[in-house]
Amino acid sequence: MSVQLNHTIVHSRDKREAAAFLADVLGLPAPVAFGPFLGVQTANEVTLDFMDADEVTLQHYAFLISEGEFDEIFGRILARKLPYWADPGRQQPNVIYTLDGGRRIYFMDPSGHLLEIFARP
């Protein structure tokens, strides 16, 4: 049996804002409407289905990217003047984590979810 993650629902304060933010910052295709959702699909065909919700509990979403994509995405984060951290506890602001030989950062989406980009698994 081959088990693959196909999609997950992301509760958001404003699904349009959150989906557009993710697609824009990560350089992914524009969100696609499907019923009450706006879906953003990653390269490995996992879709994050954004849905409006009255209550949003912080979730963590991590994205494995190439070194070149790290530079591009990090550039968009800096251009937006978004806060970023080297750690998920947000104790090391404006630092890129490099202790594993790769690069990784954490930043927040408009609904308060913690997003992570990293270039080495």
Radius of gyration of the chain (CA): 14
Mean pLDDT score across all residues of the chain: 96
pLDDT the model gives residue 90: 97
**Arithmetic mean of pLDDT, 30-39:** 98
Model confidence over 11-23: pLDDT tens digits?
Answer: 999 999 999 999 9
Q: Is the pLDDT of residue 109 over 80?
A: yes
* Distance from C-alpha of 54 to C-alpha of 26, rounded to nearest angstrom: 26
Closest by alpha carbon to 56, among 114, 106, 116? Answer: 114
pLDDT in tens, 60-78: 999 999 999 999 999 999 9
Q: What is the pLDDT of residue 64?
A: 97
| Residue 18 vs residue 121, higher pLDDT | 18
Mode of pairing for the β-strands spanning 32-34 and 84-85: unpaired
Helix 15-26 crosses helix 67-79 at what angle (to 10 degrees)?
A: 130
Sequence ranges of the domains in the chain: 7-118
CATH of region 7-118: 3.10.180.10
